[in-house]
Amino acid sequence: MLWCAAVPGFGADDATTVRARAELNRVTALVGSGVLPRARLQQAEDALADAQDDSAIREALYQKDITPEQADETVALTEKRVARRQAALDERMKWLDAGIIARSELQDLQAALDQAKAQNGWAVTRAKLAREMAELARNEQEIMRQMQLSATSAPGLVEHFTGNNRFSITEFPAIEKAFEQHFAHALPVSAMGETEVHKALGFDHRNRVDIALQPEMPEGQWLRRYLTQHNIPFFAFRAAVAHQATGAHIHIGPPSEHYVAQAGKPLHVASGGGE
């Protein structure tokens, strides 16, 4: 099942899909009565499939938060559409060679193919970013686990400031505003509160924020000082677990809790462990 079906409002036919389905019904009747050639039926079927995919792809590409699995499904969907539009263009090229159509009639098909390829490129890039975010979360969990096992397990790898051991997302706008006033650009947020990736990995990331800053760069040093001065808990990760992706960042808030399933119900168990 396509993951987007879980998105509120997704799955309901949009106007383009409704028109494509009506056209398919019309063409089916005309082909059945011999008024239109059978090739027109395939075109109408492709048009409906394309309209349905378009709705799903747009929903997926503009969805703010997705898991690697969802992103991979979007890649597969865009690849399927590229293949379908390429096949349609190849078929029309045969008609052009046979002198049935003019070259100008291929322009729309070529533009549609180019658009499908561009969307596939966007989907591939987003899938890569989703995998990197999941790896970052796993690495953070592993680092925190190592910290629990031994205070010297990863010297210099992570800085932990306990502060008041509390943080709320409602406090974050003040941090953003102060950062923007100081550096004249936005704070690079990589994960705001609970995300699909964190939920998929079993971590409760509510009232936590991940910032894509190297702790030792000027912006990272400023943020660490600000959080310390305001008694806000944070973890500053200078690298990830050895032999894995880098993933240096700053986690604002206390350690995440780990969701534990018991008797069919999720429970929150403070793990001291990560994202």
Q: What is the pLDDT of residue 51?
A: 78
Give the helix/strand (H/E) hosting 96: helix 68-97
216 DSSP 8-state letter: T
Burial (0-12, 13-18, 19+ Cβ within 10 Å), 97: exposed
If one compares 11 and 113, the residue with the highest pLDDT of the two is 113
If one compares 165 and 173, the residue with the highest pLDDT of the two is 173
* pLDDT mean over 103-132: 86
If one compares 258 and 53, the residue with the highest pLDDT of the two is 53
Instruction: Check: CB of residue 86 under 8 Å from CB of residue 46.
Output: no
| CA 53 – CA 48 distance, rounded (Å) | 9
Q: What is the pLDDT of residue 144?
A: 64
Confidence of residue 252 (pLDDT cuts 50, 70, 90): very high
Rg of the chain's alpha carbons, rounded to an integer?
A: 25
If one compares 90 and 266, the residue with the highest pLDDT of the two is 90
Classified as helix, coil or strand, 1 is coil
Model's pTM, two decimal places?
0.49
Which tens digit of pLDDT belongs to each residue from 211-242?
Answer: 989 999 999 999 999 999 999 999 888 865 44
Q: What is the pLDDT of residue 38?
A: 77
How far CA 185 is from CA of 71, 178, 228, in Å, comes to 29, 11, 21
Position 4 pLDDT exceeds 50:
no
Q: What is the pLDDT of residue 160?
A: 84
